[in-house]
């Protein structure tokens, strides 16, 4: 199993550009998550999905969109990139919800918006 994979690993965007961060998992997990990590901070939840076709906002959803058309894929879309979106983005997945929510993380995408 490859686990959770993310592409690209690095990206530089200009203000106002758009891009999609890709995330895929091959563990047949129903639950998937997108986080951002700013320097010296913990992870903040952007969006999550409890299954194909179902997504919901996390703590910091503004400026982002997601879709979940398959169990395996959970792309994150930035429509109008802003410098405040410079961060490291992590995708994660888990088999269950609630008390046994052990999340497995991808390697991250480091995004810089100039």
Partner 1 sequence: GQQLNQSPQSMFIQEGEDVSMNCTSSSIFNTWLWYKQDPGEGPVLLIALYKAGELTSNGRLTAQFGITRKDSFLNISASIPSDVGIYFCAGLADNGGGSQGNLIFGKGTKLSVKP
Least Å distance between CB 98 and partner 1? 4
If the CB atoms of residues 17 and 107 are measured against partner 1, the closer one turns out to be 107
Range list of β-strands (E), 3-108: 4-7, 10-13, 19-25, 31-37, 43-51, 54-57, 64-66, 76-78, 87-94, 104-105
Rounded to the nearest whole angstrom, what is the least distance from the CB of residue 112 to partner 1 in the complex? 15
State the maximum Cα–Cα separation within the chain, in Å, rounded to a whole number: 41
- Give residues in contact with partner 1 (CB under 8 A): 4, 31, 33, 40-45, 48, 50, 58-59, 90, 92, 97-108
Q: Is the CB of 16 or the CB of 51 nearer to partner 1?
A: 51
For partner 1, which is the closer residue by CB, 106 or 113? 106
In whole angstroms, give the CA distance from residue 51 to residue 53. 6
* Cβ distance to partner 1 smaller for residue 38 or 79: 38
Least distance CB 66 / partner 1 (angstroms):
15
Q: How far apart are CA 82 and CA 16, in angstroms?
A: 7
């Amino acid at each position: 199993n490859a686990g959770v994979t993310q592409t690209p690993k690095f990206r530089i965007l200009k203000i106002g550009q758009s891009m999609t961060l890709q995330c895929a998992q091959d563990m047949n997990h129903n639950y998937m998550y997108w986080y951002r990590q700013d320097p010296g901070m913990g992870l903040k939840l952007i969006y999550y999905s409890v299954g194909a076709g179902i997504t919901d906002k996390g703590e910091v959803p503004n400026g982002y969109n997601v879709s979940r058309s398959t169990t395996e894929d959970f792309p994150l879309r930035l429509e109008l990139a802003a410098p405040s979106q410079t961060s490291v983005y992590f995708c994660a997945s888990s088999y269950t919800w609630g008390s046994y929510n052990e999340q497995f993380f991808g390697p991250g995408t480091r995004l810089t918006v100039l």
